[in-house]
Structure 1
C-alpha cells in the first residue's frame, strides 16, 4: 500500500468519514491516502525523497497515557507557500526536519490561514476569532502605529496564563507597535522579537527604517542573522526548567522578503544603504531574490526548527509537548504552490491554504494524514481545550475545537469556513467554495475535483451559490465594517 507521503498533493478527504484519533484513524487515513495517490499531479516530484518510507500500516493506539496538560510550541513560518515543504510536494526544496515532524504526527492537507496576509491571520490565531471582529484586524496588514490588538481583548496567551501556563512569544509580533500594543500587554510574560511586518535580517531595520529588535519593550542589539538569533532564544526557552506547563509562540520571519540568507552580508549591506538613503521600498526587494535563494532560506528555516526540536528532545519534554507548525498565509513571489491558484493576498487557495503539521507524542500516533478543512481560529479553540482553559463568554470564539477529532476519534467538525479581505470574499462548506474576487464576480468551485479553482460551477449550481453567498453575508453583517478610504 502506498504511503501518504509518496504523493503529497492530497485531494480533499471523502465526505463519509473524517475522524482522526489515536484509536480509530487507520481506515480513514488509508482511504484518504489512496485518494491522494490517485489524484497526485506531476508537481509532486519532490515526493521522491520519501520513496524509502515504510508502506501504510495501522496506526498505533496510545492507551494508558497520563492526562498531564501539554506544553505548547506553536511555530509559525512567514509567507511559506502550500507546497514549499518536501512532504507537501516541493520538487526542489528539502525539509527533512519538518518532514520528520510530519511523520511523527499528523499532516493536514486542507488547512488554512485565518486570512491572506500577516497581521490579520495573527489576530485570528491569538483571539480565535475572525480578524474583522477587532479594529486592529481590519488592517491588511498593519502598516502604521494606530492599529493593534487591544490589550483588553482575551488572547490565547492571556487565557492560558490564567489557567496556569507560562507564556512567551519569540519572533514576529505584527499586531501593533509600542507604546500602545505589545505581547506583554496581551498575555505573554516574555517577548523577544520584532514588532513590525518585516525587517532586514542582519541590521534589524524595519519598513520605516527603525531598529526593530526588542527584549520585552526595550530595544536589544544583536546584529547576527535573525533566524539564528531566534533559534538560539527558542532553544534556550524550551530547555529551561519550567515550574508549570508553557506556551511558546515561535514566529519566524523566514522566508519573508528581503531575500537574505545566512551569510549574505553584501546583499544585506546594500539594502541597509538604500534604507538609510530613504528608499522606503528597499525591504520589498523587488529587484532581488531567486528560486535558488528562496530555497536556501526555507532549508535554513527547516534546519533551525530542527535545532529547536532537538533542544526540546534533550530537555526531556518532547513526549508532553504539543508542537504545531503552520504558515501565516500563502506563498509569495518565489513560492511553490502547485496545484493551487493564487498567492499571498488572495482568497484563492494559494493565498490561504497552508502547510500544517501537529505532533503530540503522548496522545497522538504518528504517520497520520487528515483531509479535514481547518483554519487558524480552530487551533486557538483546540489549544484552549487541551490545556483546560476556557474562552471568555464576552468574546466567543469563531474557531471550533478539534480535540474530539484528534483525541477521541470523533468526526471532524463540519461547518463553513469564512474569509473576508477588502474587495474579496470566500466561504468553504464541505467540498464547495464560494469566491468573489476583486473583479466583483461570484464563482463556485468543487474543491474535491478542482482544487486549482478553474472550473466555475456557478451557472450549473445557482441555488447552491445563492445559499453560500447568503451565509457569507450573514457572517459579514456581524463584523466591523472597513474604514472608508483604507
Structure 2
C-alpha cells in the first residue's frame, strides 16, 4: 500500500510538473529591444568593415548573435523608414512615404516659433486606426516604450506615441527639433519638458568675426543638457522599472544624425587618434565644429557606449538571457554638414556621398547594418545573407511572441533565419520615394532596378547585378530587357496612389 501511494505521488508530481511547464511555455514572452541608430552608414560599424571609428559594443553584439548583410531600410530618409518599420507596409502602400513637415500649419521651419507654439512642431500625424508594432505587442500584454526620436505626429495629434500603442515616450517629437542635440525642450509622454539649454536655432553658422581655430568660438553649440544622454537615462530607467514585466523597448537614438555635437571629452579621444583637421564653419548647414572628423567619430562611439550600457543593464538585472536585441539604422549616412564620408568610407562597400547615400535608393542609401542577439536562441557569431527589410520586423516580432500577424502588410517573418531554420524568401523588395526628383527601386534576387528623376518625366529603369557590381556602376538594362520588364511590372503593381497628395506621382498616373 505504501509503495502504491508512493508511485501514485510520483506520477502526480510528474503530471503537475508537465502542466506547469506547458503553462510556462504558453505564457513565455521574451523582452524585446529594438535599437535604431539615425543615419548610421553600413560601413560605419566595425563588424561591417569600419577601421577608424571604434564600435566595440556593436561588434560584441554581433559576436553574440547574428549579423545581417542584406537588410534594408524601408526608405532612404527618416519618417517613412520609421513608419514602415512600425507598420510592416512597404512604401508603395504606406501612409507616410516621405518627410512631410505639414507646413500648411504655418512657419514650421522657424525654430523659435515652433518652440513657442507646439502646434507648429512635429510631422503630419499617422491616423488613429494605424496598426503599429506597439499596438500588436500590447495584445500580448507587453509594456511598450519609445525613447529617442518619433517624427510620426506632432504634439496634440492622434499621431503621438502614446496614442499609437506606446505606454511611455521620452525624447524628440519632431525631426526638425532634433537638428540640435542641445535642444530647448524634449517631450515626456504628452508633456513638454524644458531643458537647461539656451535657444540656439539649428543651422546657425559660426559668427562671421569668430576665429574658427579658437575653441571658444564654438561655445554656443555645446551646452548643458545633452539630449542623447537624457534619453538614454530614461531608457535605462524604463528597463529597471519594468524588469518584472515583458517589455518592448524601442530605442530610437538621434545619433549620429547631424549636427556635430558631442561632449568635449569624447571628441578629445579622437583628436589624439585622427590628428589636426580643418574646422567646419557651418557653410553646408547644421552647426559648426572645430574638429568635425573627431566629433563625428565620437558621436558613433558615444552611441556604441550607450548600446553597451543598455546590454550591461540587462545583464545586471538578470534579463539578458530572455531578451531579443535587434540593432539597426534608419537609412544610409548623410553627405553634408561637415561629415567626411570619404575619409570614413561611410557606405563601404557601396557607392558613397551625395546622390548615393541618404535620400537615394541606391544601396548606400537603403542597405543598413542589422544585428540580432538572443542568447541560446540565435547562433553566436553567425552571418545571414537573407534579403530582408524594415517591413519584415513587425511580422517577425509577432511570430516570435505568438501574436496574430496582420493580413494587410507586405512583410515576411525572418524568425526562421534567427533560429537557423529554413527561411521563405521574398520574391522581391520594393521602394518608392516621392522626393529627390522621385524614385522607385526593386531588389529581385541578384538584380536591382532603379527608376530616378521620375518628376522630370524619366520612366527608364537602370539595372544592376549586385553579385558583380555592388557599387551599382554598370547599368546592364540593355543586356537584360526581360529582367527590366519584370521589374517594371512590379513597380506598376506595387505602387498604389498615396492618400496624401504630397506623396503622389502624376507621372505614374496618380491623380
Same fold by TM-score, threshold 0.5 exceeded?
A: yes
CA contact under 8 A between 2:92 and 2:431: conserved in structure 1? Answer: no
Q: How does 1:148-227 map to 2 (within 5 A)?
A: 148-180=125-157, 181-198=159-176, 199=178, 201=180, 203-205=182-184, 211=185, 213-223=186-196, 224-227=225-228
User: Greater share of helix residues, 1 or 2?
Assistant: 2
SS in 2 for 1:483: helix
TM-score (norm 2): 0.73
Structure 1 counterpart of 2:261: 260
Please say if residues 260 and 289 of structure 2, whose CA atoms lie closer than 8 Å, have aligned partners that are also in contact: no
Give me the CA root mean square deviation: 2.6
Query: Are 1:140 and 2:99 counterparts?
Result: yes
Counterpart of 2:418 in structure 1 is 406
* Aligned ranges 1:255-334 → 2 under 5 Å: 255-263=256-264, 284-285=286-287, 290-333=292-335, 334=339
Partner Cα distance (1:120, 1:462) in 2: 31
Counterpart secondary structure, 1:75: strand
Q: Deviations over 1:302-358 (max 9, x none)?
A: 011111110111010101100000000000123411221211000000000111100
Quick one: structure 1 residues 453 and 479, their matched pair in 2 at CA, closer, same or farther if it must change by over 3 Å?
Answer: same
Q: What is aligned with 2:467?
A: 448
Stretch deviating more after TM superposition (186-195 or 283-292): 283-292
Identify which range, 473-482 or 122-131, moves more after superposition: 473-482
For residues 282 and 453 of structure 1, do their structure 2 counterparts lie closer, same or farther at Cα, with a shift above 3 Å needed? closer
1:320 touches 1:362 (CA, 8 Å); kept in 2?
no
Equivalent in the alignment of 2:33: 73
Instruction: Name the CA distance, whole Å, in 2 between partners of 1:89 and 1:187.
Output: 37
CA contact (8 A) 1:343 1:350 kept: yes
1:430 aligns with 2:445: yes
**How do 1:353-372 residues align onto structure 2 when only pairs under 5 Å count?**
353-372=367-386
What is the CA–CA distance in structure 1 between the aligned matches of 2:309 and 2:89, rounded to whole Å? Answer: 32
Residue 385 of structure 1 corresponds to which residue in structure 2?
399
Distance in structure 1 (CA, Å) of the matches to 2:285 and 2:248: 31
SS of the residue aligned with 1:361? Answer: coil
Alpha-carbon distance change, 189 to 482 in structure 1, aligned in 2, over 3 angstroms: same
Counterparts of 1:134 and 1:344, CA distance in 2: 19
- Sort the Cα spacing of 1:265 and 1:443 in 2 relative to 1 into closer, same or farther, 3 A: closer
Q: Is the CA contact 1:164–1:245 (under 8 Å) kept in the aligned structure 2? A: yes
Give the Å deviation of 1:168: 0.6
Return the index of the structure with the highest Cα Rg.
2
* Contact residue 243 and residue 319 of structure 2 kept, 8 A: no
Deviation (angstroms), 1:365: 1.6
Q: Distance in 1 between matches of 2:284 and 2:237?
A: 33
Q: Go from structure 1 to structure 2 and tell me whether the alpha carbon gap of 1:377 and 1:330 turns closer, same or farther (over 3 Å shift).
A: same
Query: For 1:6-155, what aligned pairs fall within 5 Å after superposition?
Result: 68-135=28-95, 137-142=96-101, 144=103, 147-155=124-132
CA contact (8 A) 1:258 1:284 kept: yes
Is the CA contact (8 Å cut-off) linking 1:325 and 1:357 kept in structure 2? yes
Q: Is the CA contact (8 Å cut-off) linking 1:106 and 1:357 kept in structure 2?
A: yes
Q: CA deviation at 1:290?
A: 2.5
1:340 corresponding residue in structure 2: 350
Q: Which residue is 1:376 aligned to?
A: 390
- Cα deviations by residue, 1:112-160 (Å, 9 ceiling, x for unpaired): 100000000000011111244344x033254645612212111000111
CA distance in 1, matches of 2:431, 2:94: 14
- Whole-Å Cα distance in 2 between the matches of residues 157 and 338 of structure 1? 33
The answer on whether the counterparts of 2:98 and 2:433 sit within 8 Å (CA) in structure 1 is: no
Q: Deviations along 1:24-72, whole A, 9 cap, x unmatched?
A: xxxxxxxxxxxxxxxxxxxxxxxxxxxxxxxxxxxxxxxxx96732110
Deviates more, 1:143-152 or 1:191-200: 143-152
Distance 1:184 1:153, change over 3 A: same
Partner of 2:364: 350
Structure 2, gaps ≥5 residues long? 1-23, 104-121, 197-224, 268-281, 506-511
Query: Structure 1 residues 173 and 481 mapped into 2: Cα distance closer, same or farther (>3 Å)?
Result: closer
User: How much has 1:391 moved relative to structure 2?
Assistant: 3.5
Is the 2:39–2:358 contact (alpha carbons within 8 Å) kept by the matching residues of 1? yes
Shift of the alpha carbon at 1:178? 1.3
Find the aligned partners of 2:417 and 2:373 in 1 and give their Cα distance.
14
Provide the rounded CA distance (Å) in 2 between the counterparts of 1:287 and 1:424.
Answer: 33
Relative to the length of structure 1, the TM-score reads 0.77
Gaps of 5+ in 1: 1-64, 206-210, 267-279
Q: How far apart, CA to CA, are the structure 2 residues paired with 1:141 and 1:91?
A: 36
Q: What is the CA–CA distance in structure 2 between the aligned matches of 1:295 and 1:238, rounded to whole Å?
A: 28
